[in-house]
Amino acid sequence: MEKFIVSLLPFLIYLFLKSKKSIHMLQQNWYNDGNRYIKWIFHNKKNIFFNLDLLFLIVLIGYRISDAMLMVLFIILYTILSFLQIQKQEQNKLPLKYTNRVKRIFLTTYLIYMSLFVFICFGYQRENLPIYYLLLGMFLYFNPFVITVANILNHPMEKAINLKFKKKAIQKVKNMNLKVIGITGSYGKTSSKNILSDILNMKYNALPTPKNYNTTLGLILTINNHLDKFNDILIAEMGAFKQGEIQELCDLVHPSYGIITKIGTAHLESFGSQKNIQTGKFELIESLPENGIGVLNADDPLQVSYSLKNKCKIIWIGIEKEADVQAQNICLGVDGTKFDVIFKGDNKKYSFTTQLLGQANIYNILAGIALGYQFGMTIPQLQAGVKKVKPVEHRLEMKKMGNINIIDDAYNSNPVGAKMALDTLALMKGKKIVVTPGMIEMGAEQNRLNTIFGEQIAQVADAVILVGENQTVPIYKALIKKKYKKENIYIINDVKEAFPLIQTLKEKDTYVLLENDLPDIFNER
């Protein structure tokens, strides 16, 4: 039995690596919220179930060879699998975050496997060695489902922990004299939040939720860990995958001010319909008190057409249509954007400059100007705040990579943002290369939207690098339909392969648009 236990060492190493990979995917799929993780498993069943892990069935020959040979075979198998798994994990773009929740899932997972080890050891009989190895191999082969079980077992504890921290956050907000601003929309939430923060912080001490903390848990962590007595404004980014989630966030912090950036098709699959998306986003505005203020986009038909069910004040921003706060004379260049702002009832035009690129950012700036103006900020303060605004990481962010100019729009992609990014690329003087895996989570509309995206790329790019052979089929077909040269289309299965390829394609002046960088759950490698 001692030799049997020793033979399990490579197995235990592979168990850790395989569990780490599964938990990583569970984390990227929001801990199976809305069955996202289960859907991911079955969407990737070919990679998950038809791989080298199936070699555990080799132990079935155990009855034909000696115990010593079987042990050696078992050790060699899981040593090789461990080595290969380490190589794979080095390619991850977004590493696993070792939160307390992740640590608890690891612990529960190991307790499940430990139960199997204890069962085998207490009833150990040498002649059953092939059966023991078969059981262990099978449990490891179905590791993604074992992780699901661990997550389910932990759910009551996670719920209790979250409730405790939620009550603490609610009490903390209640005890402070805060202006609370909620920001939601199908896209542009993080950009709008950071722009608003930069503008308001010219006069106030505003705290925005960090990074993309836009869930209930993210907002709770922001309040409990970052909000302090010196803050007079809390800016809460509010994300949602289905109806009711924005309302849940509003019930947590009770905003008096709200901004809707743009309503589109993002997360159409989980919302079910565009009507549901529209209603879900307006949960923010309809949660505002009567003396609250909502900032809406007059150029967005889905905002203009909505019948609002409360009486809060609405400030309309716009570019194309007349609005309460309107941008005119927009001049977009490589170094940024210049534009004039007109306030309704004021005949003057006020000039603003920003480092940011793209029309969507003008809308975000207008929303910041509108609220800042309502909060008593002067025009010079607003102008200084807009000038100070820094590009948000991975959202139309200009970078240099040696002698190559990178337009980094890799955070995520949607029809409006993708078109805006291509319009920005079109302004550049030099060779233009697009690197993209296309748009995801668009439900039944995904193929159609990626087809349109492909047609738009054909009008701008000198070369196209498609990331993911399967998911970029609509883009490829659209390019071919538009008579785009096949020799200028390159297909890879990992975005990391793009950069060596770009080096072979570059010219003296080269501009590369990185449009969407999918998380590892979508990697086709």
Q: How far does CA 156 lie from the centroid of its chain?
A: 26
Which residues is 510 bridged to in the sheet?
404, 431
Ranking 138-152, 242-256, 405-419, 493-507 by mean pLDDT, the lowest is 405-419
Residue with the bigger pLDDT between 479 and 524: it is 479
Give the strand pairing for 431-436 and 510-515.
parallel
Q: CB burial class (10 A; 0-12, 13-18, 19+) of residue 294?
A: buried
Q: Model confidence at 354, in pLDDT bands (50, 70, 90)?
A: very high
Domain map of the chain by residue range? 2-156, 176-388, 397-522
Q: Which residues pair with 317 in a beta bridge?
A: 297, 325
In whole angstroms, what is the distance from residue 501 CA to residue 491 CA? 11
The answer to whether the beta carbons of residues 283 and 244 sit under 8 Å apart is: yes
pLDDT bin (cut points 50, 70, 90) of residue 92 is: low
What would the CATH number be for the domain defined by 397-522?
Answer: 3.90.190.20
Q: Give me the pLDDT at residue 357, please.
A: 83
For residue 407, give the nearest of 518, 512, 259 by alpha carbon.
512
b (16+ CB within 10 A) / e for 444-473: eebbebbbbbbebbbebbebbbbbbeebbb
Looking at the predicted structure, is the pLDDT value of residue 525 above 60? no
The CATH architecture assigned to 176-388 reads 3-Layer(aba) Sandwich (3.40)
**pLDDT level of residue 522 (50, 70, 90 thresholds):** very low
Residue 521 confidence (pLDDT) above 50: no
pLDDT tens column, 283-316: 999 999 999 999 999 999 999 999 998 989 999 9
Q: What is the pLDDT of residue 336?
A: 81
Q: State the pLDDT at residue 7.
A: 92
Q: What is the pTM of this model?
A: 0.77
Average pLDDT value for the chain: 89
421, 396 contact by CB (below 8 A): yes
- Do 397-522 and 176-388 fall under one CATH topology? no
Reported residue count of the chain is: 525
